[in-house]
Amino acid sequence: MIQQPEYCSYEQLDNGVHHVELTHHSAAAADTYLELLEKIISTATENGDDKIRLMVVISAKQMPSLQYLATRAKKILAKYPNRPMFRNVYIFGEGFMANLLHMFIKMIVQRNSDKMNFFQTDKLDDAMEWLLKDD
């Protein structure tokens, strides 16, 4: 799997959750994340999975450009019209503009069947519990 630890790390956990950590805000970090995302979608689609559970930990001091991420993500998602639904959680530090990110992601890249939530770093257990729900 694509991985550049200086920008973004990836691990598929034993419970099936795809755990991604963004550690840098550069375009290279965004590209690495999007390459990972496409590989996850492609594999899940080929395997006939019904759901992709994704935890994105944003440990970078800033987010990569939202416009850049959205433009590239829309192109990737358009390649997979029959992809599994997403259940995503985004983990962020205090002071992060989660509301803005939530609105942006919902408007640009989500389908009605996708579910998304945001948690601060001190609520990892709550985030994982939410992520593993089946609703």
Each residue of 88-100: pLDDT tens digit? Answer: 888 887 655 555 5
27-51 burial code (b ≥16 CB/10 A, e <16)? eebbbbbbbbbbebbeebbeeebee
Domain ranges of the chain: 8-132
H or E segment and range at residue 18: strand 18-22
pLDDT reported for residue 95: 58
Average pLDDT over residues 51-61: 86
Residue 4 has pLDDT above 80, yes or no: no
Query: Do 77 and 83 contact (CB within 8 A), yes or no?
Result: yes
Query: Could you tell me which CATH number the domain at 8-132 has?
Result: 3.30.750
Residue 127 sits at φ, ψ, to 5 deg, of -65, -45
pLDDT band at 1 (very low <50, low <70, confident <90, very high): very low
Query: Do 8 and 21 contact (CB within 8 A), yes or no?
Result: yes
β pairing state of 18-22 and 8-12: antiparallel
Q: Secondary structure of 24-91 in the HEC alphabet? A: CCCHHHHHHHHHHHHHHHHHHHHHCCCEEEEEEEECCCCCCCHHHHHHHHHHHHHCCCCCCEEEEEEE
Highest mean pLDDT (candidates 58-67, 89-98, 114-123): 114-123
pLDDT reported for residue 24: 81
The tokens describing 43, both together, are 């594999």
pTM of the model: 0.83
Average pLDDT over residues 55-66: 76
More confident residue, 56 or 100: 56
Query: Do 92 and 98 contact (CB within 8 A), yes or no?
Result: yes
Average pLDDT, the chain: 82
